[in-house]
Amino acid sequence: MESQRNTSEFVLLGLSYDQNVQIVCFVLFLFCYVALLAGNLLILVSIRCSPLFHQPMYYFLSHLSCMDICYTSSVTPKFIADLRGGTKTISYGNCMFQVFAMHFFGSTEVFVLTVMAFDRYVAICKPLHYLLIMNRTRCNLLVLAAWAGGALHSLPQLSMTIQLPFCGPNEIDHYFCDILPLLKVACTDTYITGVLVVANSGLVALVTFVVLFVSYVIILFSLRHRSAEGRHKALSTCGSHITVVILFFGPSIFAYLRPPTTFPQDKIFALFYTIIAPMFNPLIYTLRNTEMKSAMRKVWCQTLFSKEKGNS
């Protein structure tokens, strides 16, 4: 590998060269990251410490929160640190790790969202068989399949990136290491590699989005004979999921399902699926969910009461 490259580090150009813009972005995205960590950890702990953990929907939601934390943490801390000024460098090894982590946790999150859609389909369309179909063994297997799918997607991406020779310019026009920006600074013809990246990432995003879209069309179609109260309850749980899917998949499909090139807008769209969507997930899943809000109150009120009792 050493004979193919003489680049030991890359320079990330970031979002903007303007110092004032960087200061504003530093404050904004630091707040977003802290809110993301706090919100997802709140959901994770509340579900794990309550009976909701034994319900499939919340079991999958806890895994989604875990993915959000891991996925965003592979990029955002470095991005925020770079906004403080100075040269935004990243070592070759850390760059390759970012490529792997982004695609592994991101694709695993995509598959977890697909599993959650299947769970909602069974709950709404086959309610009498729900507990039989979505038993804990099957839930564990579905989560394991999501992790395996993430590995099957990310390992070929990493393999293609590691084989690229880097021997010239080392400036990456992005705020993190991703495959398409890296193709621009590789010292070889990268057209075939770019097509393979689009075939891998783009098709994963498109196929899962189509599967999710079809599943919710079927769910909505099945609700036409339900009572108004039944439709409202079903739609309240599905509405949160649909919002998350749109926030995550819209920018992802734009970024990866197109000819293998880069645009200035890529960095803005990347903010949606790396920071903004994971930050809004806790709000989307809790504000309209009575069970989740009730579990959070019980868990945290009991914790505070225990602390007060221990201090007294």
Q: Is residue 162 part of a domain?
A: yes
Q: For residue range 102-146, what is the model confidence (pLDDT) as tens digits? A: 999 989 998 998 898 899 889 888 888 898 999 999 999 999 999
Backbone angles phi, psi at 90, to 5 degrees: -145, 135
> What integer pLDDT is reported at residue 2 of this predicted model?
43
What is the tally of structural domains in the chain? 1
Return the structure tokens found at 157.
């991406």
> What integer pLDDT is reported at residue 152 of this predicted model?
92
> What integer pLDDT is reported at residue 19 of this predicted model?
83
pTM assigned to the model:
0.85
Q: Is residue 305 part of a domain?
A: no
Q: Is residue 2 part of a domain?
A: no
Residue 252's domain comprises 9-299
For 218, the 3-state DSSP assignment is helix
DSSP symbol at 259: S
> What integer pLDDT is reported at residue 179 of this predicted model?
87
pLDDT at 235 over 70: no
Q: For residue range 295-308, what is the model confidence (pLDDT) as tens digits? A: 777 776 766 555 55
Beta strand 89-91 with 9-12: parallel, antiparallel or unpaired? Answer: antiparallel
User: Would you place residue 310 in the very low, low, confident or very high pLDDT band (cuts 50, 70, 90)?
Assistant: low
Q: What is d(CA 232, CA 249) in angstroms, rounded to the nearest whole number?
A: 25
Q: Is residue 146 part of a domain?
A: yes
> What integer pLDDT is reported at residue 308 of this predicted model?
56
Q: What's the order of all strands across the beta sheet hosting 171-172?
A: 89-91, 9-12, 171-172
Asked if 238 contacts 216 with a C-beta cutoff of 8 angstroms, the reply is yes
Q: What is d(CA 65, CA 244) in angstroms, rounded to the nearest whole number?
A: 12
For 91, the 3-state DSSP assignment is strand
Q: For residue range 146-158, what is the model confidence (pLDDT) as tens digits? A: 999 999 999 998 9
Q: For residue range 2-20, what is the model confidence (pLDDT) as tens digits? A: 445 567 889 998 887 788 8
Asked if 124 contacts 219 with a C-beta cutoff of 8 angstroms, the reply is yes
Asked if 139 contacts 56 with a C-beta cutoff of 8 angstroms, the reply is yes
Beta strand 89-91 with 171-172: parallel, antiparallel or unpaired? Answer: unpaired
Helix axes 136-162, 92-125, angle to 10 degrees: 150
Q: Is residue 118 part of a domain?
A: yes
Across the chain, what does the average pLDDT equal? Answer: 83
pLDDT (average), residues 248-277: 76
Return the structure tokens found at 208.
């899962």
Question: Of the candidates 285, 120, 134, 133, which has an alpha carbon nearest to the alpha carbon of residue 219?
Answer: 120
Q: For residue range 36-86, what is the model confidence (pLDDT) as tens digits? A: 999 899 888 888 888 888 899 899 999 999 999 999 999 999 999 988 876
Question: In Å, what is the CA distance from 238 to each residue of 52, 70, 123, 177, 222?
Answer: 17, 24, 11, 34, 13
Q: Is residue 295 part of a domain?
A: yes
> What integer pLDDT is reported at residue 303 of this predicted model?
64
Q: For residue range 153-178, what is the model confidence (pLDDT) as tens digits? A: 999 989 989 988 888 778 888 889 98
> The domain spanning residue 252 has which CATH number?
1.20.1070.10
In percent, the amount of the chain with pLDDT more than 90 equals 27
Q: Is residue 267 part of a domain?
A: yes
Q: Is residue 200 part of a domain?
A: yes
